[in-house]
Amino acid sequence: MTERQVKSITQLSPIDVYMLLPRTNCKECGEANCMAFAAKLVNREVALEECPPLLKKEHEESYKKLQEILAPVIKEITVGTGENAVKIGGKLVMQRHEFTYHNPAPIALDVTDEMPLHAKSDEKDAVIDRVKKVENFLYNYIGRDLKLDMVALRSTSNDPVKFKSTVTEVTKATKLPLILCTFDPNVMEAGLIAASGRKPLIYAATKDNWKEMADLALMYECPLAVFAPNDLSLLRSLSKTLIEYGVEDLVLDPGTLPDEGISDTINNFTMVRRNACKGGDRLLGFPIIGTPITAWFGEGDSKEMLAWKEAYLASMLMSRYADILIMHSLDGWVQLPTVIWRFNIYTDPRKPVSVEAQLYEFGKPDEMSPIFLTTNYALTYFTVESDLKSFGGNYYLIVVDSEGISVEAAVAGRYLTAETIAEAVKSSGVAEKVKHKSLILPGMAARLSGETEEELKNVGLPDWRVIVGPRDSSGIAKLLKEKWPPKED
């Protein structure tokens, strides 16, 4: 029973789901009828448990069937407990355009039991310092806080006492979910005792230690990672064995092999995910763990080069199906592309690329507030929006319909022209709201400024002047300081 014949999410219709619902149209779920609820279930917008009648004894069988047909093809596994728990996996599809990816891959940073707890002057890496850095990592990206998620504790000492003590210190220092890394079951048990009640991910079971690790996973009720570097038959065999052994929550590691192993790595990750999603292989229907940290074990490279490799490996693995990552570098330039790419690929692919073209107001703009203009590409708009909000003043922002493309591309492709700008200013009605006659154009559209003044005349706005703004909206504050309010000619 390793394969299943379940309709994939893209084939599942609301009718399939509807037929198994109580069909009472009782509205207890808040929907107009059972069919509407079924449609939302298929879209993953509601949970089965929001249907009270379904939870009654007489519908037990249907409930079970629905759980089965709605179950994600990649099992969702929880690491950690309470509000600090993270969910990994839970993917419904292989490729992003088929359906939204769920559960953004958490990123764990490593510490070892041989690092000092706190850095002395001549040492760089220290356990608690690194843990605090993970906790404090923060980047505000178009209004969202991007963060790091977990701590991976590695035993480089292979000494249970040392490992236990480091795990104890880390659990005191942070509530972040943990991964305990050692192949020695005795060391692992010492760590598990110290991490009692935290439900860490056990990394990892191998062909040599699987039995002991399975016992620990069962005894401490923790999810278990399975490590079979570059050997998918072993990975699958371990998965089968561990499931039979009673371990239900597995995380698969086919090995992250940098440099000359990158082709095998990408192919292994892809084959594992594809067998689960397209081949119905339940033994591989678990989250995949990627370990870009292995880039650091390459030889002969500078630290910078190793971090560079780790950075691009992390992004590549996320695109090729990693559901959780273990990394080493805490450098901002390494983590920034990683957390932004993660945020991006976990967004809904059906989300429109553009925002509505209209006049937006920030703060309480009055008759002397500056007027900015940009295009309706969503990312452009959100960037400008987040900057204007962070400056905290009062502004008008005219958003022109550029068919959803950015300012630079829109100018080059003639989607943003003097004519479309003048038309947008006119129809926004902003001219009636202000006393001044100045329009601030994006720096990327600087070359349209002369023409725009001409076109503004043509739409009945004579004497309007264009001020060329910065090429990036982060420079708006500086521009206003220098050029606002505008000087009369």
Partner 1 sequence: MLSAEEKKAAAEIAELLQSLGLEGKRHIELEDVELTVKEIILDPSVLSSAALRGMMPPKRKAAAPPTAKPATLLEAPFTPFVQEYPGKIREVTLGATKSQGGSRGKPITIGGATTPAFYLFEQTPPNPPVISVDVFDMKVTLPKAIRTHVEDVWEDTAAWAKRAVDKWGAKVLTLHLLSTDPLIKDTSPAEAAKTIENVLQAVDVPLIIGGCGDPKKDAAVFKKIAEVAEGERVLLSSVTLDMDEAGVLEDVTKAAAKHGHLVLAFTSLDLNLAKELNRKICDYLPEDDILMDLTTAALGYGLEYSFTIHERARMAALMGDTELQHPVLSGTTNAWAAREAWLKLGPEWEPRSLRGPIWETVTALNLLLAGVDLFMMMHPDAIKTMQKVVQQLMNKGGAKPEKIANWVNAKI
Backbone angles phi, psi at 183, to 5 degrees: -95, 0
Tell me the window of 65-73, 340-348, 454-462, 478-486 that interacts with partner 1 (CB under 8 A): 340-348
Q: Does 60 bind partner 1 (CB under 8 A)?
A: no
Cβ closest to partner 1, residue 41 vs residue 388:
388
Q: Which two tokens stand for residue 477?
A: 């504050």
Q: Strand pairing partners for 139?
A: 146
Binding mask 66-85 for partner 1 (x = CB under 8 A): --------------------
Q: Is 145 in the site for partner 1 (CB under 8 A)?
A: no
180 vs 359 by CB, closer to partner 1: 180
Q: d(Cα 354, Cα 405) in Å, to the nearest integer? A: 8
Q: Is the preceding peptide bond at 307 cis, omega within 30 degrees of 0?
A: no
Output the smallest distance, CB 380 to partner 1, in A: 8
Q: Is 406 left (phi over 0), alpha (psi -120 to 50) or beta?
A: beta
- Give dist(CA 114, CA 117) in Å, integer: 9
For partner 1, the binding residue among 6, 36, 173, 379 (CB under 8 A) is 379
Q: Considering only residues 103-142, where is the footprint of partner 1 by CB under 8 A? A: 112, 114, 125, 141
Interface of this chain with partner 1, residues 453 to 472, rule: CB under 8 A: 471-472
286 contacts partner 1 (rule: CB under 8 A): no
Site for partner 1 in 297-316 (CB under 8 A): 297, 304, 308, 311-312, 315-316
Contacts of 68 (CB under 8 A, 6+ apart): 6
Nearest to 294 by CA among 227, 350, 366: 227
Q: Residue 14 or 185: which CB sits closer to partner 1?
A: 185
Query: What are the strands of the beta sheet with 438-441, ordered from one edge?
Result: 359-362, 395-400, 371-375, 438-441, 465-468
Q: How far is the CB of 42 from partner 1 (least distance, A)?
A: 21
Tell the smallest beta-carbon distance from residue 334 to partner 1 (Å): 7
Which CB, 20 or 325, lies closer to partner 1? 325
Q: Quick check: 147 binds partner 1 (CB under 8 A)?
A: no
Q: Which is nearer to partner 1, 69 or 409 (CB)?
A: 409
* Tokens encoding 63: 């409930």
Binding mask 469-488 for partner 1 (x = CB under 8 A): --xx-x--------------
Position 235 contacts partner 1 (CB under 8 A): yes
Applying CB under 8 A, among 71, 218, 434, 477 the residue interacting with partner 1 is: 218
Torsion of CA 314, 317, 321, 322, to 10 degrees: -50
Task: With beta carbons less than 8 A apart as the criterion, state whether 107 and 327 touch.
Answer: yes
Q: In the bound complex, what is the minimum distance in angstroms from residue 430's beta carbon to partner 1?
A: 26
Query: Around Cβ 68, how many Cβ atoms within 10 Å?
Result: 11
- Interface residue with partner 1 among 260, 432, 482, 488 (CB under 8 A) is 260
Q: Which of 67, 319, 427, 458 binds partner 1 (CB under 8 A)?
A: 319
Q: Which is nearer to partner 1, 18 or 203 (CB)?
A: 203
Q: How many other C-beta atoms can be found within 10 angstroms of the C-beta atom of residue 47?
A: 11
Among 8, 62, 156, 209, indicate the residue that binds partner 1 (CB under 8 A).
156
Q: Which residues contact 105 (CB under 8 A, 6 or more apart)?
A: 88, 290, 318, 322, 323, 324, 325, 342
**What 3-state class would DSSP assign to 191?**
helix
Among 116, 337, 462, 485, binds partner 1 (CB under 8 A): 337
State in angstroms the smallest separation of the CB of 357 from partner 1: 16
419 near partner 1, rule: CB under 8 A: no
Alpha helix ranges (H) inside 137-231: 160-173, 185-194, 210-220
Shortest distance, position 426 Cβ to partner 1, whole Å: 23
Candidates 36, 39, 245, 438: give the one binding partner 1 (CB under 8 A).
245
Nearest alpha-carbon partner for 283 in 271, 295, 293, 294: 271
Least separation, in Å, of the C-beta of 266 and partner 1? 6
